[in-house]
Amino acid sequence: MTAPDFAAHEPADAAAPEPVAAAHDAAGVADSLPAGAPDAAGPPHDRLHESLRIGSLDLDRRAFMAPMAGISTPAFRRSVRRFGAGLVYTEMISAYGVHYDNRRTLDYLACGEEQHPVGFQLFGADADVLADAAARCARAGADLVDINMACPVRKVLKTGAGHVDVHAAGIVRAVAEAAGPDVAVTVKMRSGLREGDEAGRRTAPLLVAAGAAAVCIHPRTAAQLYRGRADHAVTRALAQELDVPVIASGDVDGRAAALALLEGGAAAVMLARHALGRPWLFAEVLDGVPEPDLADRLAEVRRFAADALRDMGPRGVGHLRQFWQRFRRNGALDRPLAQALMRAPDAAAVRGLLGL
């Protein structure tokens, strides 16, 4: 087999984020909750804090951080964990890169104890290659292996990966067998490739029968990318049809949205773009906690930046550039500081600007 191109790519998540919605205050969230939903201002003993079992994995809360290529590095995972994320994921990892021992790809398998529970997300189109990669992820400490069948990026789709097709069930079966009984195997999918395509919903029961312990649905089509609104009627339908947890992804921008999805049948919610530059969104979603004051937001920016520079060395400077404007939009940085950080040529300059 010829080794395919498994160079890193930047998904639409990182390239073109939607504007981040303003945080809900407690009163606004309470007014917008569906009938019977817990009061956002009350104690956090609601469905978001109920335990959840996914295969062999026991979780103590139901708000997760999505895997995102180029974004969910170890420093990022530690940041959202500090605000309560119940499950975090690696960046999207090329199964081919693992299989062919690509050095940079193998770096994605590094995982510190403070990041557990952690899911490793793989993408690829060859069942044997994915199975080998899953076994190696299990040995590297993965609590869960997720197969990405939801990536709308052309570079991934043209390889046969990133969407559900006739081979999907066989891939899940091979990965579940290779990962072993102690590592849960899940699938992240979209509604389909284009409008009117219900491939995700049709295929999901076959994936569960093949060994998927949970299904995460982002109910947009691949053609939509991240435009429009996620159609969570699809999420509700899957939750009724499947006998494994269904995790809802798409437009989870606050506590009200998360609670509404759980009330509609989802077992958990997955935050993505709305938590970029706003890791404290997890505290708001889980507990109705107001956004931190400016000093605390800046303290988190400094801690996150210090982590990224320590972990990544000089590469951390470029990695951090995709966050500075997001932090500015969410009130953690003022415009002059954000612009100066964007121009910072090296780690020493970043540290100097942030007082690290």
Query: Is position 15 within any domain?
Result: no
Number of domains in the chain: 2
Check if the beta carbon of residue 272 is closer than 8 Å to that of residue 242: no
Asked if residue 263 belongs to a domain, the reply is yes
What is the 3 state secondary structure string of 199-259?
HHHHHHHHHHHHCCCEEEEEEEECCCCCCCCCCHHHHHHHHHHCCCCEEEECCCCCHHHHH
The residues annotated as belonging to the active site are 151
Is residue 214 domain-shared with residue 306, that is, in the same domain? no
Q: Is residue 161 part of a domain?
A: yes
Judgement on whether residues 225 and 246 belong to the same structural domain of the protein: yes
Integer-rounded Cα Rg, in Å, for the chain is 19
Instruction: Give domain status of residue 137, yes or no.
Output: yes
Rounded mean pLDDT, 130-150: 93
- Do 298 and 185 belong together in one domain? no
Tokens 């121009």 belong to 343
Give the residue-averaged pLDDT of 210-215: 96
Measure the CA–CA gap between 118 and 133, rounded to whole angstroms: 16
pLDDT at 108 over 80: yes
Spatial separation of the C-alpha atoms in residues 244 and 217, rounded to whole Å: 13
Q: What pLDDT shows up at residue 224? A: 56
182 and 158, same structural domain? Answer: yes
Q: Are residues 241 and 298 in the same domain?
A: no
Q: Is the pTM of this model over 0.85?
A: no
C-alpha triplet 278, 281, 284: angle, nearest 5°:
150
229 with 277, same domain? yes
Of 287, 305, 338, the one marking the end of a domain is 287
Domain assignment present for residue 49? The answer is yes
Confidence class for position 231, pLDDT limits 50, 70, 90: confident
Bridge partners (DSSP) of residue 88 are 118
From 271, 287, 303, give the residue that closes a domain: 287
Percent pLDDT > 70 in the chain is 78
Q: Are residues 163 and 110 in the same domain?
A: yes
Residue 315 maps to a domain:
yes
110 compared with 277, residue with greater pLDDT: 277
Over the stretch 31-63, which tens digit does the pLDDT of each residue have?
Answer: 333 333 334 444 445 889 999 999 999 999 999
Q: Are residues 108 and 89 in the same domain?
A: yes
How high is the pLDDT of residue 28? 32
**Domain co-membership, 81 together with 186:** yes
Q: Give the rounded percent of residues in the chain with a pLDDT score beyond 90.
A: 66
Instruction: Tell me, yes or no, whether 79 and 121 share the same domain.
Output: yes
Print the domain residue range for 311.
294-354
CATH of residue 250's domain is 3.20.20.70
The residue type of 65 is: M
- Residues 142, 120 within the same domain: yes
Residue 350, helix vs strand vs coil: helix
Q: State whether 265 and 303 are in the same domain.
A: no
Once rounded to an integer, what is the mean pLDDT over residues 67-83?
94
- The answer to whether position 35 is within a domain reads no
Cβ 269 vs Cβ 250: under 8 Å:
no
- Within-domain flag for 252: yes
Q: Quick check: 2 pLDDT over 80? A: no
pLDDT of residue 17: 35
> Of the residues 287, 309, 340, which one is the last residue of a structural domain?
287
